[in-house]
Amino acid sequence: MSYVLEVKNLSKNFGNINALNGISFNINNGEIAGLLGPNGAGKTTLIKIITGFINNYEGNVLVCGNKVNTITKQYVAYLPDNNFIPSSWSVFRCVSYFADFFDDFDKVKAISLLKDCNIPLSSSFKSLSKGIKEKMQLILILSRKARLYIFDEPIAGVDPVARDLIFKLILENYDKDASILISTHLISSVESILSSAIFIKHGEIIEFGSISDLKAKFDGNDLESIFKELF
């Protein structure tokens, strides 16, 4: 079987700190997987390896069958856990930058989604509220025709209403032939959109499987209850 993402025996140390310890998992085409664990579990380190920001590690990581390199960056659309837009830029300048930088970026789609979310193209990024900044950056990522979308804490720090809108944006606008990996510690908020979950603790995967299999294994409990039991 060909996977969108294959992680095999992946380990990463930072000096004496063992951030990842021989983890392995796969994500299928069309899958929405949750990367679940507390802060410091290794989620962001894993994501930075998949996206090519960390390249010194042990093990293998394949994106669409290719080792992580400049080619795989074309397949991955990544939303980091911090603002990545210069504060002085206008929304329109952000859209133009993405259109110039990414061949798979759909400028028409981006402008349409911004309009639907009442985000003026003339606004400066620094003038936007936290929730609007989250939505704007998400729109830029979703306007790419990627094979793998990675969201690192896309709902952290926003209110429940904004969380629902963010998940609605994701589900309605990502390329349905692609896969999604969502890293979060807000389990109850994300459960409804996931098809599988990866529970990570101290750099090790302690549970991994489809949502239905995990619930069956843990006596029908929801993911929040499973999380509390595991951690």
Per residue of the chain (231 residues), give pLDDT as tens: 579 999 999 999 998 889 999 999 999 999 999 999 988 899 999 999 999 999 999 999 999 999 999 889 899 999 998 889 999 999 999 999 999 999 999 999 999 999 988 999 999 999 998 888 888 999 999 999 999 999 998 776 667 777 777 788 888 888 778 999 999 877 888 888 899 999 999 999 999 999 999 999 998 889 989 989 888
CATH classification of 5-230, choosing from 3.40.190.10, 2.60.120.200, 3.20.20.70, 3.40.50.300? 3.40.50.300
pTM for the full predicted model: 0.92
The reported pLDDT for the residue numbered 1 is 55
Residue type, 7: V
The reported pLDDT for the residue numbered 157 is 66
Cα within 13 Å of Cα(149), Cβ side:
27
3-class SS of residue 132: helix
The reported pLDDT for the residue numbered 151 is 93
The reported pLDDT for the residue numbered 4 is 95
What the block records as the tokens of 90 is 């206008």
Give the residues across from 205 on adjacent strands. 200
The reported pLDDT for the residue numbered 176 is 79
